[in-house]
Amino acid sequence: MSTTPSRVHMAMGFDPDEDVDLDPATRALIERRDRVLGPSYRLFYREPVAIESGKGVWLKGMDGRDYLDAYNNVPVVGHSHPAITAAATAQLATLNTHTRYLTEPVIAYSERLLATFPDALNRVTYTCTGSEAVDLAVRTARHATGNRGLIISEHAYHGTTVAAAGISPSLGPNNPLGDDVVTIASVDTARIPPEQVAAKLEADVRSAIEQLQESGAGVTAIILDSILSSDGVQVEPAGFLAPLVDLVHEAGGLYIADEVQPGFGRTGEWWGFERHALTPDLAVLGKPMGNGIPIAALVGTEESQRKFGEDIRYFNTFGGNPVSIAAANAVLDVIEQEQLRQNAAEVGRMLLTGLERIGADDDRVLHVRGAGLFLAMEFADADGAPDEALAARVVNGMRDEGVLISASGPAAAALKIRPPLVFDSGNAEQLLETLERVLRSTR
């Protein structure tokens, strides 16, 4: 089987066949890694970063350098947050067992979590990973509708189980999509006027629905990352997803909101789908809910989950175990007590303004966009084509300057900036100053 990596990996990742001047310790660690880990693993950056510890928005490298983390969404409230550490440690010293016993904390947390959602979303099922939650969402939707067909964006990423990988074309050309899966073109808000975005998507969704109905599969659901992060972080105009969901509902399908990346306050709201004035039938949450401790969930309406619950026994041995629940509850504490949704909105606006200023002075920047602490800067060449090579140079140049970001989009031509929510104005200034310096060096 081919192991051809995705475009993002090819553009900016470590290539073992490339002659890179690595320090001996890093080279030795890579060689040890390659001897024991599976060959499908990939390393970020042309010169991989070897990390030994993290705190807040900082990662400490084995080289002694501090790296500003402007990429990791899983430690949503920052690396090694003391409140998460204390809550998980105390619970681990008290009880950690499977979810077939009756325990109060999982009920209390569920009540608290569901209070952040629209009232209609009133049931939650726990898993250990976002991929499992996506898998469960697909099973639930297919059982509820009696249909098989799924509609996704053409560069989506939703996970790594068989079902989730089957709706994750961003995993690369050698990753087959599942049966009865139809893609719609990635949103391109850099090149399509805002007033035309919804109409273009509506036409694509109508075509996908017709294709699924003609094949006999019918429409199970449209599943979309609420900020379309793998499609290049597409955020404007707010509300453009709503007409698509209406079409899917009319065809008998459900709307599954993948909130693994935009959820838990990243956009300045609790949930990414709120930008589109939508209430999903099902919403998928992932590891940010435990700040990296394995916990994920499927949240949905009672109606969307009723038939599956009546007919099928589902049990996830340690999904929602007491230690993970304790960590998840502490995450909500920190988001609320440290006002991190407000911080995401305020610092995000500062970053967006700074990126727009930088882009206005650089003719290689095609477009800047973002919502809260989820931003993108897209590059194009003189002919207007996506400039994947420049994005890769910038990502690696930022790494060399001690700031960690990534790239996104079908052509991997958009910088992907997605820091922990404790990113402050000083961190934002450092990122912007570093980006300006790196861009000058790529001329």
If you ran DSSP here, which 8-state letter would residue 71 be given? S
Identify which of 173, 179, 124 has the alpha carbon closest to the alpha carbon of residue 149: 179
| Three-class DSSP category at 12 | helix
23 lies in which domain range? 7-77+340-441
Pairing of strands 58-61, 51-55: antiparallel
8 versus 202: which is more confidently predicted?
A: 202
**Has residue 325 got a pLDDT over 70?**
yes
**Has residue 257 got a pLDDT over 90?**
yes
Residue range 137-143: mean pLDDT, rounded: 98
Residues 147 and 234 both lie in one domain:
yes
Residue range 186-205: mean pLDDT, rounded: 93
Question: What are the tens digits of pLDDT across the range 43-56?
Answer: 999 999 999 999 99
Q: How far apart are the first and last CA of the chain?
A: 40
Identify which of 233, 286, 293, 238 has the alpha carbon closest to the alpha carbon of residue 260: 286
Q: How far is the C-alpha of 418 from the C-alpha of 373, rounded, in Å?
A: 6
Q: How far is CA 368 from CA 282, 371, 437, in A?
A: 30, 11, 18
Residues 420 and 288 sit within 8 Å (Cβ to Cβ):
no
Residues 52 and 151 both lie in one domain:
no
The per-residue pLDDT for 4 is 41
User: H or E stretch including 32?
Assistant: helix 24-36
Residue 68 within a domain: yes
Residue 168 within a domain: yes
Residue 187 within a domain: yes
If you ran DSSP here, which 8-state letter would residue 153 be given? E
Residues 243 and 389 both lie in one domain:
no
Residues 305 and 352 both lie in one domain:
no
Residues 179 and 302 both lie in one domain:
yes
Question: What are the tens digits of pLDDT across the range 352-389?
Answer: 999 999 999 999 999 999 999 999 999 999 999 999 99
Residues 60 and 122 both lie in one domain:
no
Q: Of 302, 337, 372, which closes a domain?
A: 337
Residues 307 and 356 both lie in one domain:
no
Residue 2 within a domain: no
Residues 287 and 354 both lie in one domain:
no
Please state the domain count of the chain.
2
Phi-psi region of 330 (alpha: psi -120 to 50; beta: other; left: phi over 0): alpha
Residue 304 within a domain: yes
Residue 45 within a domain: yes
The per-residue pLDDT for 11 is 56
Residues 352 and 275 sit within 8 Å (Cβ to Cβ):
no
Question: What are the tens digits of pLDDT across the range 409-425?
Answer: 999 999 999 999 999 99
Q: What is the band of 391 on the pLDDT scale with cuts at 50, 70, 90?
A: very high
The per-residue pLDDT for 5 is 45
The per-residue pLDDT for 3 is 36
Kindly report the backbone phi and psi dihedral angles of residue 379, in degrees, each rounded to the nearest multiple of 5, phi listed first: -110, 150
Residue 24 within a domain: yes
Compute the mean pLDDT over every residue in the chain, rounded to the nearest whole number. Answer: 94
Which residues make Cβ contacts (< 8 Å) with residue 324, sequence separation at least 6?
126, 128, 290, 293, 294, 295, 318
**Has residue 39 got a pLDDT over 70?**
yes
Residues 111 and 208 both lie in one domain:
yes
CATH, residue 100: 3.40.640.10
- In what order do the strands lie in the sheet containing 121-127? 121-127, 296-301, 282-285, 254-258, 219-225, 149-153, 181-184
Residues 198 and 55 both lie in one domain:
no
- Percent of residues, the chain, with pLDDT higher than 70: 97
Per-position DSSP letters for 120-157, written without gaps between them? TEEEEEEESSHHHHHHHHHHHHHHHHS--EEEEETT--
Residue range 19-41: mean pLDDT, rounded: 88
Read off the tokens for 269.
């709201």
Residue range 288-304: mean pLDDT, rounded: 97
Q: How far is CA 352 from CA 344, 356, 368, in A?
A: 11, 6, 7
Identify which of 378, 383, 384 has the alpha carbon closest to the alpha carbon of residue 356: 378
The per-residue pLDDT for 1 is 28
Q: How far is the C-alpha of 301 from the C-alpha of 307, rounded, in Å?
A: 12
Residues 163 and 67 both lie in one domain:
no
Whether the pTM exceeds 0.85: the reply is yes
Rounded to a whole number of angstroms, the CA Rg of the chain reads 21
The per-residue pLDDT for 9 is 47
**Has residue 15 got a pLDDT over 80?**
no
Q: Of 337, 362, 394, which closes a domain?
A: 337
Residue 1 within a domain: no
Q: Is the link from the previous residue into 237 a cis peptide, with omega within 30 of 0?
A: yes
Residues 173 and 95 both lie in one domain:
yes
Beta strands in 318-438 (DSSP E): 365-370, 375-379, 403-404, 406-408, 414-417
Beta strands in 193-288 (DSSP E): 219-225, 254-258, 282-285
CATH, residue 16: 3.90.1150.10
Q: Of 304, 337, 370, which closes a domain?
A: 337
